[in-house]
Amino acid sequence: MDDAASNPTPPAVIVVMGVSGSGKSTVASLLAGRLGWEFEDGDDFHPAANVEKMQAGTPLTDDDRWPWLAAIAAWIDKVRAEGRHGVVTCSGLKRAYRDVLVGGRPDVRLVYLRGDRELIGRRMAARHGHFMPTSLLDSQFRTLEEPTPDENPLVVSVGGTPQQIVAEIVETLSGQPAGA
């Protein structure tokens, strides 16, 4: 049984994670709107040097990611300390990255948008104006360490529409059918 179903108390913050092109920004912004919560796109926390590397087709290193993750974690802690609710995106590809964001924060919930390389590659190829080139998708999948049950992730397939994905997340978190 999902912990959220047995305890429908909403988390303070939801971290929407997945590889680039999985729909994190779209789903998270819709989710925040549906819940009436704040939304932050984790991409906005990247320093300019990280964005430049990715635009050039160079994968980020762990050293590139630590300050970015710390900035997202600081936002999470601020939202929690002020008694607000928020939704933030972050690829969160490795367990160590998720530990920075969620570790020691029982009121922060991870939502993992899971999809296969083919589907996500098609979606990335169709989007325009994003700094992350499709050429880095294989690197993202190589780096990805899927969340494990002890991280209490809500795992959602990206096969549906963004609205269907949001409805599934809300239903699971509330313990109520989407129409209830």
pLDDT at 11 (0 to 100): 93
- The CATH number linked to 87 is 3.40.50.300
For the cut 90, the answer to whether the pLDDT of residue 17 exceeds it is: yes
Mean pLDDT confidence for 71-93: 97
Q: What CA–CA distances, in Å, run from 76 to 86, 87, 95, 140?
A: 8, 9, 17, 24
Residue 42 in domain: yes
Higher pLDDT among residues 4 and 150, named by residue: 150
Total number of residues shown for the chain: 180
- Which of 6-10, 99-103, 159-163, 170-174 is the least confident region? 6-10
pLDDT digits (tens, 9 = 90+) for 19-54: 988 999 999 999 999 999 999 999 899 999 998 888
Residue 161, domain member (yes or no): yes
pLDDT at 127: 58
Mean pLDDT in the chain?
A: 87
Per the structure, the complete domain to which residue 47 belongs is given by 3-174
Residue at 179 is within a domain: no
Res 135: pLDDT: 62
**Domain for residue 180, yes or no?**
no
Q: Check residue 177 and give its pLDDT.
A: 57
Banded model confidence at residue 74, pLDDT cuts 50, 70, 90: very high
Whether 52 is in a domain gets the answer: yes
**Taking the model in full, what pTM does it have?**
0.86
Note whether 115 and 159 are within 8 A (CB). yes
Is the residue at 59 inside a domain? yes
* pLDDT number for residue 26: 94
Residue 55 backbone zone (phi > 0: left; psi -120 to 50: alpha; other: beta): alpha
**Domain count of the chain?**
1
Whether 135 is in a domain gets the answer yes
SS3 (DSSP) at 112:
strand
CA dihedral (150, 139, 62, 84) in degrees, to 10, reads -50
Q: Per the domain annotation, does 75 fall within a domain?
A: yes
User: How do residues 88-128 score in pLDDT, each as one tens digit?
Assistant: 999 999 999 999 999 999 999 999 999 988 888 777 666 55
% of the chain surpassing 70 pLDDT: 86
Report the pLDDT value the prediction gives residue 5, as an integer from 0 to 100: 42
